[in-house]
A and B are shown apart, each in its own frame.
Chain A
Amino acid sequence: MTAKETFDRLAAKFPQFPLGYLEGKDTAILVKGENLVGLAQHMRDDEEYDYCSSITGVDYPDRFEVVYHLYSTKKEGGPVILKVHAERENPMLPSVVSIWPTANWQEREVWDLMGIRFSGHPNLTRILMWEGFEGHPLRKDFPGSEDEYIFG
């Protein structure tokens, strides 16, 4: 099944969620933040996309984007890619940990390095850097860090 067909089928199946079609090397589906959890629930229960491979935050000049790559261990077929946008000021998205527990650490990583909050996450703390570190290093405007301790 091509990505376009998958998209058409999903769009017909879930008229309650307005979806956007993003053409590209890997075709993606654009979802609104408030519909994400509802769609994810359907994807897992009805479409057998039981395996959420990766969650990535990207810092674009005008927005933050979080990309979800979904696969199925039960049926054939390439990924379904969901993209969600978040605004630049105080980015906040719903968490999908209740649907795919694997999202737990991945969302913590996105919060740590990219600074996107996930509402409803059980334990949204920094994972790679220490608590108390200022800033989110993977943002394009991260100033770099300075040490008092290390000279030279």
Chain B
Amino acid sequence: MTELKTETITINMGPQHPSTHGVFRLILTLDGETVVDVEPVVGYLHRNHEKIGEKNNWIQNTPFTDRLDYISPMSNEFAYVLAVEKLAEIEPPERAKYIRIIMVELNRIVNHMIAVGFLLNELGCFFTPMFYCLRWRELVVDLYEMTAGSRMMPNYFWIGGVSADLPEKFLPECKEFVDAVPGFIDELERLLTDNEILQMRCRNVGVLPPDVAVEYGCTGPLLRASGVPYDIRKAEPYSIYDRFDFDIAAGTVGDVLDRYLVRIAEMRQSAKIVEQALRDLPEGETATPKKRKFRPPEGDVYHRIEAPKGELGFYLVSDGSENPYRYKIRAPSFVNLQSLPYMCRGHKIADVVIIIGSIDITMGEVDR
């Protein structure tokens, strides 16, 4: 009997595809249903942030950072203002620091919630879990709207503080929200974590061993799920993270299920941080006096934070003028996405979609 001849085929997925999280293309080489290789093609949302950032002045750049990872705008602003503050040696007032932490951690909850919702979407559980998760996003978005005036693009962090003090109703509503988060996560876990379908489709899919994860420069939940407890909030505490008590969640296997569990655990930790910050929130000023013309001294800095998706860094070069000389964004999604081919090889084509969902990318940030 002669052996059947097999041939690999190449198919194209995207850039418009319902499960690619935006405009992003994959070139898949398949042997039957099995993935032989994946080549991601990015750049479909390349909006020239870095070039426009050089034309804008330092203050104008903050709203642009909102549009990088549009699911977690506050974190982007946080990274940028911290980098500029490091460059210009500005110290924001205490109250502003606490407000920033509250906002950023609320953002982390939202981001992970959306990541979990989308993952379930990709597992074929269309929209119902996501509607549950988005309901909680709406609550946070209402808090943002109340403070900053915009649901999605708050432009709330300023160089040297925050743009406005918290409104009166913020504290009780935020408290109510944070108190409700653990209950909601329990509900979500009851619904999902022991669900057999979720277990079967996520266990041992897209395994990323720890050494490979570090080699590929992965950060955030992706790295921690592989069992490397590396969190910049602990490894190199910035702002006032050293004052809070929280744990780093880490996985063991590094598969899709671990990433899901790490996100769930991180939401609980974030809620804990917000609670502590609300408790310790001091009275006082929320911004240093603002200057209309802002000129930081010459020099270059790199500042990174633990954004919900991983390490978000800004490398800024100043030549002493009103505009940055170089404005580079080190985006977590962009770097994390590199590990996709490694994780997909040998799996079935349906798993590719789940693996993309588990990395948690935003195209605005991948392509900048």
Contact = CB atoms under 8 A, between A and B. Distances in A.
B338 A104 contact: yes
Given A25-B87, A56-B315, A106 B335 contact: yes
B216 A101 contact: yes
A24 B315 CA distance: 14
Contact of A53 (B48, B50, B311, B337): B311
B42 interface: yes
Contacts of B338: 101-102, 104-105
B215 A81 contact: no
B48 A100 contact: no
Given A58-B317, A127-B43, A137 B300 contact: no
A25 B299 contact: yes
A126 B367 CA distance: 12
A20 B214 CA distance: 28
B330 A53 contact: yes
A55 B265 CA distance: 31
A108 to B, nearest CB: 10
Contact of A69 (B214, B313, B368): B313
Interface in A42-83: 50-54, 56, 58-59, 67, 69, 73, 76, 78-79, 81
A24 B313 contact: no
A34 to B, nearest CB: 24
A104 B87 CA distance: 29
B135 interface: no
Contacts of A130: 43
Contacts, number: 85
Contacts of B42: 127-128
A87 interface: no
A52 B311 CA distance: 12
Interface size class of chain A, counting residues whose CB lies under 8 Å from the partner chain? 20 to 34
B64 interface: no
B17 interface: no
A102 B299 CA distance: 27
A78 to B, nearest CB: 7
B300 A24 contact: yes
A8 interface: no
B236 interface: yes
Contacts of A126: 43
A113 interface: yes
B51 interface: yes
A61 B120 CA distance: 50
B229 to A, nearest CB: 9
Given A56-B326, A138-B50, A26 B300 contact: yes
A101 B367 CA distance: 19
Interface string B75-97: 00000000000110000000000
B223, B302, B304 interface centre (most CB from chain A within 10 Å) = B302
By Cβ-Cβ distance, the 6 closest A-B pairs, closest first, are: A102-B217, A54-B330, A128-B43, A128-B46, A56-B328, A73-B230
28 contacts: A51-B214, A53-B313, A54-B302, A56-B315, A56-B330, A58-B325, A58-B326, A59-B326, A67-B302, A69-B302, A69-B313, A73-B214, A73-B228, A73-B235, A81-B302, A100-B217, A101-B216, A102-B215, A104-B338, A105-B337, A105-B338, A126-B43, A128-B367, A129-B43, A129-B46, A137-B48, A137-B51, A142-B51
